[in-house]
Structure 1
Amino acid sequence: MADTSERPAPPARRKAGRHRGEGQWAAGHFTPLNGNEQTKKDDDGLNVRTRIETIYAHRGFGSIDGADLRGRMRWWGLYTQRRPGISGGKTAVLEPEELDDEYFMLRVRIDGGRLTTRQLRVIGEVSQEFARGTADITDRQNVQFHWIRIEDVPEIWRRLEGVGLSTTEACGDTPRVIMGSPVAGIAADEIIDGTPAVEEIHRRVVGNPAYSNLPRKFKTAVSGSPLLDVAHEINDVAFVGVVHPEHGPGFDVWVGGGLSTNPRIGVRLGAWVPLEDVADVHEGVVSIFRDHGYRRLRNRARLKYLLADWGPERFRQVLEDEYLLRRLADGPAPEKPVHQWRDHVGVHRQQDGNHYVGFAPRVGRVDGATLSKIADLAEAHGSQRVRTTAEQKMLVLDVPGDRVDSLVEGLEALDLTARPSVFRRGTMACTGIEFCKLAIVETKGRGSWLIDELERRLPEFDQPVTINLNGCPNSCARIQVADIGLKGQLVTDASGEQVEGYQVHLGGSLGLEPGFGRKVRGLKVTAEELPDYIERVLRAYDAQRADGERFAQWAARADESDLK
């Protein structure tokens, strides 16, 4: 939806009527206007845990109430996964119960990407014992298991919670995981450590019934890194480290970002917030979403639509006047990062003289045994802290300088390289058709194959390029803001057969110059053609680029013939 903040306001009567049917609680519209809203009104999603522990885990999958199965269980990180053997062409035509397998994806929320080696080892053990070894790292710093049986969920919770981990509100219409800089508190170039804010936000909102019935999901990011390493531009609310000329280090506030089928870059409120006030402002923004968010249509129930209608000036005024009851200080925008990579891969010196080592799993896919080995390696090299990133990567913190090389070698032996190729470093993929009920095509295996092919074909290519594969239009893998974004769909091949393929988005980016990728008219590529197509485009870029010209800049000016 276009930003209407600069358009003249319509007459008051028309404006009042415009949102009469949007289901906003603040307007007195408490009658549920769709099935999802009715389910939430019937019973808070947080309450389903008791039924899981006392009924469903004992009586099995067949005993689960439908509203719990496809609704409230998400409040505890549980989604039914896709039944094996269902083709992408059936995704949109089958009923939910036809797509459901009798197993679950279970998402572990990892706020700030922060893990101890003990926690990582427990995740690895749960993966091996209950999830057939699965343990994917997401681009929101979480870990996802698959093949989870409802009978095992209480024991999994017991083990996770025993080391301070949780699946509470990892999914559902709730405050999702709080993204944070994976180098918070240790980076030599850090503007401000956002860790206390992440912890206080978590304490206030996660599992709190006051915020457990939002119009839809609500995504938060906090980072004091100059690399802007939490994709703040596409979160519902984000706090970005800046230095105020009078007040010193604090945070710039962004609201209303999001992707999916109607992408929107978040906007600045122009407000500077000190560390101790971040949780207050966060609570105010999530409360605005709860009270004023649109609840009539699910596809308009994100904060970005409210922000588009209100504009940042009105949003800030409502936040200050009705929720904070005080004025916020005006403040500066964050500076553009000097590096395109924001994943912290490689060896870097910490503030304390130790080092952190960032490494790249293939498209976020790991397994429980590997996670346990990472924990062992970290501890053997003097570390008890690891981190996940917003780019499906991992870090080991606190490594003494004389043990860095040994750690890097140990990681390499696990196919976890701290010196990845451009393609290994820059390729991300969502879950895809293997497990996801919304997916149309396969992604994880194809992404790994694509990395191998491009490394073989373009061994000398060294320009930063991101390649994001998504199994459906919903953009869990952020296709619109990748250099090369691949949106899964069925396409017709040369012989006239329907096969898996991708719509291509070119030249999207975050950070330096945030914007959405260019769609080339009529360009769709079959899965088998991907390496040929990407090789052709990257060779054209390498031949035509000016000195220092990024792929996104080139793609914006390139002839369509060079992009096909």
Structure 2
Amino acid sequence: MTYVRPDRASPPGSRVKPGVAPAPILRGEGQWAFGHAEPLNDNERIKKDDGPLNVRWRIENIYSRRGFASIEQSDLHGRFRWWGLYTQRRPATAAGARATLDPHDLDDEYFMMRIRTDGGHLDLPQLRTVADVSVRYARDSADVTDRQNIQLHWIRIEDVPEIWRRLQAVGLSTVEACGDCPRVVLGSPVAGISVDEVVDATPAVRAIVERFVGDPALANLPRKFKSSVSWLPDVPYEVNDLSFLGVVHPERGPGFDVWVGGGLSTAPMLARRLGAWVPLDEVPDVWAAIVEVFRDYGYRRLRNRARLKFLVADWGVERFRAVVEGYLGRPLVDGPAPALPAAPVDHVGVHPQRDGRYYVGVAPLVGRVSGTRLAALAGAVERHGGTWIRLTPYQKILVPDVRPDRTDALVAALRDIGLEAQPSPWRRSTMSCTGIEFCKLAVVETKGRAAALVRELEKRLADVPVDLTVNVNGCPNACARTQVADIGLKGQLVRGPDGQQVEGFQVHLGGGLALAAGQAGAFGRKLRGLRTTAEDLPDYVERLVHRYLAGRRSPAETFAQWIGRVEEGQLR
């Protein structure tokens, strides 16, 4: 994508489509559609004062030359995000500092950089470029995230222009990887190769990115906007602002069901079906119409109510759909609900493709890799005949197009670099956010804790027949999808045995995105006072697993079903 420096623009009230606006609510929520153009908080003022995409020019021509101290605060804590940059946490700041300090007081002079990989696709030149950037400029850091991105750390402002140049040379970008804008578009990691896929959604993902990502008209949304387009339900569709999921219409054939209003954090909501069927070639237009509705009607007064989910909850699906249809200028076609899987699909292991070849899915330990490991991955893929990889929204990596006679050798080669295609259930099903190591919002360490938990459970429960998801998060924002895991762990400070505050977790139990075929997901059970210290976490999980296995009514009773019926004492 070629970056074009946009002109400054006021809120585009003129873009609001006539005749489709619902009646305004009594209290102003900063909605542009109702003429509320004056910013109601500092974040909105920053975006109005100067289009966030414009900051690239200053990064390249001023800040990278004059250093970190020259960066204006409104750029540093606002507009930088539109180019995938967050200041990371200053080392050695205490876990409790977040409770008394503004996050900006924890700024280090280094950045996290998020590389945009829509659909999770990386060819070998791109993979090698990311690996090289990690080694040269990011102290060999790299994490695979649950948004199909790769994140780097320890980035200096002086190096950003050169990093961008290297990424752009292979077709990669950091544009709108963060910020109040359309984030990375999730796609099925096996799009185009799956034996179960009817329609490859990749053309729609690419069209959305090419047409709309970096467009100034959609670069100032009330909050971040997360979306996915996938025939298979192998993405977390229920926690996105917008998801398109494959379905066959009885009369019109294959297309996509539309889900809106999902999101987690401190006010979790699951997406709801719009009841509309959309053919593949119309997905980008419907996607854009929904983004425009969010831009014009989304709440801009309070940041904690600015996500699309609040608008959908207040309006209801029928009203929201009517407004979207007004933006499209035509009605949407009613459609059936899609079939849902019994559990999230992560594609780990060796699986056949539709063309007779195979793909190999591997599990990095809680998503942590490195530039060195990514370079070794590229080498292993090339030696075994591959040309690309896919990242998954479960912090996994897939290697497609492997010949049948090469799968065993590739599995062994990947194991040698710490990427396991036959992982233990705990290594396979544990995810973690960035945590206090780099994130200014976190209150506990997560990556190391989660990795240690996996290793401990692999020893303690090696022969126990159970497969549970464990999602570890450093704060309430649920980047690791705490509320929809079998065991969700939300970081907080708790009282240790001596009464002093130590790192620990509030526990959510029995959540999931699809608890049974055809059944929607649900949030985990949260009991008052159900917490564990970080040190006691392995003991707690081990105890809980044994109670579940001893107390379930039959082997068919799921963990979520057991959690839903047992008394609280069994869960402590």
Flag whether TM exceeds 0.5 (same fold).
Answer: yes
Please point out which of 388, 394, 398 is paired with 2:397.
394
1:292-371 matched pairs, under 5 angstroms: 292-320=297-325, 322-338=326-342, 340-371=343-374
1:256 aligns with 2:261: yes
- Structure 1: state its 5+ residue gaps: 1-14
Q: Percent identity?
A: 63
Structure 1 position 92, deviation (Å): 2.9
Structure 1 position 336, deviation (Å): 2.0
User: CA contact under 8 A between 2:103 and 2:441: conserved in structure 1?
Assistant: no
Partner of 1:3: none
Give the Cα–Cα distance (whole angstroms) in 2 for the partners of residues 170 and 446 of structure 1.
27
Q: Secondary structure at the match of 1:288?
A: helix
Please point out which of 60, 69, 72 is paired with 1:53.
60
Give the Cα–Cα distance (whole angstroms) in 2 for the partners of residues 462 and 240 of structure 1.
32
Partner of 1:549: 557
User: CA contact under 8 A between 2:344 and 2:514: conserved in structure 1?
Assistant: no
Structure 1 position 462, deviation (Å): 3.2
Partner of 1:8: none
1:289 aligns with 2:284: no
Please point out which of 199, 202, 207 is paired with 1:200.
207
Partner of 2:534: 527
Partner of 2:421: 418
Aligned-partner residue type, residue 520 of structure 1: L
1:88 aligns with 2:91: no
TM-score (normalised: structure 1): 0.96
Partner of 1:442: 445
Structure 1 position 96, deviation (Å): 4.0
Aligned-partner residue type, residue 262 of structure 1: A
Partner of 1:6: none
Give the Cα–Cα distance (whole angstroms) in 1 for the partners of residues 465 and 311 of structure 2.
41
Structure 1 position 409, deviation (Å): 0.3
Aligned-partner residue type, residue 147 of structure 2: R
Q: Secondary structure at the match of 1:514?
A: coil
Please point out which of 502, 505, 509 is paired with 1:506.
509
Q: Secondary structure at the match of 1:397?
A: strand
List per-residue Cα deviations over 1:238-268 (Å, max 9, x = no partner).
0000111111111000000000000000000
Q: Secondary structure at the match of 2:247?
A: strand
Structure 1 position 95, deviation (Å): 3.2
User: CA contact under 8 A between 1:422 and 1:461: conserved in structure 2?
Assistant: no
Structure 1 position 544, deviation (Å): 2.1
Q: Secondary structure at the match of 2:413?
A: helix
Give the Cα–Cα distance (whole angstroms) in 2 for the partners of residues 22 and 115 of structure 1.
41
List per-residue Cα deviations over 1:431-457 (Å, max 9, x = no partner).
000000000000000000000110100
Change (3 A) 1:414 1:497: same
Give the Cα–Cα distance (whole angstroms) in 2 for the partners of residues 317 and 234 of structure 1.
22
Structure 1 position 562, deviation (Å): 1.4
List per-residue Cα deviations over 1:198-218 (Å, max 9, x = no partner).
011111210000100000100
Structure 1 position 87, deviation (Å): 1.1
1:66-215 matched pairs, under 5 angstroms: 66-215=73-222
1:213-232 matched pairs, under 5 angstroms: 213-225=220-232, 228-232=233-237
Partner of 2:570: 562
Moved over 6 A (4+): none
Instruction: Output the aligned Cα RMSD.
Output: 1.0
Structure 1 position 558, deviation (Å): 1.8
Deviates more, 1:362-371 or 1:87-96: 87-96
Aligned-partner residue type, residue 279 of structure 1: P
Q: Secondary structure at the match of 1:91?
A: helix
User: CA contact under 8 A between 1:341 and 1:464: conserved in structure 2?
Assistant: no
Aligned-partner residue type, residue 167 of structure 2: L
Total equivalences in the alignment = 546
Q: Secondary structure at the match of 1:92?
A: helix
Give the Cα–Cα distance (whole angstroms) in 2 for the partners of residues 461 and 181 of structure 1.
31
Please point out which of 537, 540, 554 is paired with 2:544.
537
Give the Cα–Cα distance (whole angstroms) in 2 for the partners of residues 492 and 142 of structure 1.
35
List per-residue Cα deviations over 1:288-314 (Å, max 9, x = no partner).
000000000000000000000000000
Give the Cα–Cα distance (whole angstroms) in 1 for the partners of residues 465 and 393 of structure 2.
22
Partner of 1:492: 495
Give the Cα–Cα distance (whole angstroms) in 2 for the partners of residues 388 and 19 of structure 1.
45
Structure 1 position 184, deviation (Å): 0.2
Structure 1 position 191, deviation (Å): 2.8
Give the Cα–Cα distance (whole angstroms) in 1 for the partners of residues 315 and 39 of structure 2.
23
Q: Secondary structure at the match of 1:396?
A: strand
Give the Cα–Cα distance (whole angstroms) in 2 for the partners of residues 462 and 199 of structure 1.
41
Q: Secondary structure at the match of 1:18?
A: coil
Partner of 2:464: 461
Change (3 A) 1:16 1:271: closer
Structure 1 position 150, deviation (Å): 0.1
Deviates more, 1:189-198 or 1:496-505: 189-198
Give the Cα–Cα distance (whole angstroms) in 1 for the partners of residues 224 and 340 of structure 2.
28
Give the Cα–Cα distance (whole angstroms) in 1 for the partners of residues 259 and 26 of structure 2.
24
